[in-house]
Amino acid sequence: MLHNQANGREATAVVNGVRLAYEMSGTGDIPLVMVHGSWLNRRNWDFAVPRLADSFRVLTYDRRGHGESERPSGQGSVRENVADLAALIEHLGLVPAWVAGSSFGGSITLRLAGKRPDLLRGITAHEPPLFSLAATDPAVAPMIEEDMRSDAAAAERIASGDHAGAAEQFAEALQPGLWTEFPPEIRQAMIENAPAFLDEANDPDFYAFDLEWIRDFPHPALLTQGDQSPPQYAAVIPKLAEALPSVEVRTVTGVGHAAHVEDPEAYVKAVTAFVRRHTA
C-alpha cells in the first residue's frame, strides 16, 4: 500500500489498487471512521466532524468513485467498498475502530461488521437502504418497489449523460423539495458523483443483506433513524435489530434520511453518548 501526505491532515492512500482520499480530524484516543452514502463524498460529514473531533480521532474518506478518490473502470460492487474500508482501517493503524455509516454507508458498515468484526470496537448505522429485508412487508412493499423504480430511472438518466437531472430526481424522490434545500456544494457533489451511483445501482447486491452475517457480531451496535424519513427506511431497522446481539435503536426527532446534515448536533449527541457508554 502506498501513502502520500497531502495538505495538513488530508492525505491519500492506495488500498486494493485504488487511490482513496481521506482526512483525519481530532486528537482523541478513540478512532471513529465515517462512511458516506451514495452520491456524496467525505465533505458530507463536515457539519458533524467538528463536534465529533472533540471526543474522537475522526477519519472521513471518499469512497472509490467519489470525490477526490480514484474511479476505476468496470462494474464495481459493495464488496469492493467493504474491502476498501477494511484495508484503510488497517493501513492507518486504527484497529480496533468504531465505524459510523449513513445510508449506503450504513450498508457497507454492516457488511464490514459481518465480515471483519476483528477490526471493530462497534458500529453505528443510519437508515441503510437494505430493502431486501423489508420487501415482503405489505405496509412498505409498494414504497420499496417505487424506490427501486426511481433508482433505476435515475441510473438510466446518468447513463444517458444527464447527471444533474438524475441527481435532482433522486433527491426529490427521497423528499419533495429536498434538492432546493441542499446547499450548492451538496448539489454539485451529487452531480459529480453520479457515475458512482450508476455503478451502485447496477450492482445486484445494492439492496441485499443476509441477517446471518451479523447474528454473532461481538460488539455493540447503534441503529439510528429519523422520525421524518420515508417509512421504508424505518421498516429495515427492526429486522437488523432482531439479528444483532447487542443493539440499541435510537430515533432522532425532527430529521429525515440525512440526520447528520439536518441536525448534526442531535446526530453527534446520539453517536457520542452511545460510544462513551460502550468504551471502557
Question: How many whole angstroms separate alpha carbon 252 and alpha carbon 69?
Answer: 31
Mean pLDDT (the chain) is 94
CA distances for 156 relative to 38, 162, 193, 222, angstroms:
16, 9, 15, 35
Is the peptide bond between 96 and the residue preceding it cis, with omega within 30 degrees of 0? Answer: yes
Question: How many whole angstroms separate alpha carbon 81 and alpha carbon 235?
Answer: 24
CA angle at residue 77 from 74 to 82, to 5 degrees? 130
CA angle at residue 124 from 67 to 185, to 5 degrees? 25
The per-residue pLDDT for 2 is 38
Residue whose C-alpha is closest to residue 271's, from 63, 49, 26: 49
Reading the block at residue 231, the C-alpha cell is 417509512
The helix/strand/coil state of 263 is coil
pTM of the model: 0.95
Cell 430526481: give the residue.
Answer: 169
Question: How many whole angstroms separate alpha carbon 158 and alpha carbon 249?
Answer: 35
The per-residue pLDDT for 189 is 95
Domains (range + CATH), the chain: 2-135+206-277 (3.40.50.1820)
Model confidence at 197: pLDDT above 50: yes
Give the mean model confidence (pLDDT) for residues 33-54. 96
Give the mean model confidence (pLDDT) for residues 60-71. 97
CA distances for 80 relative to 16, 65, 198, angstroms:
8, 11, 15
The per-residue pLDDT for 75 is 83
Give the mean model confidence (pLDDT) for residues 43-59. 95
- Indicate the range of 3-7, 166-170, 199-203, 230-234 predicted with least confidence: 3-7
Q: In what order do the strands lie in the sheet with 120-126?
A: 2-5, 10-15, 18-25, 56-61, 30-35, 97-102, 120-126, 221-226, 247-252
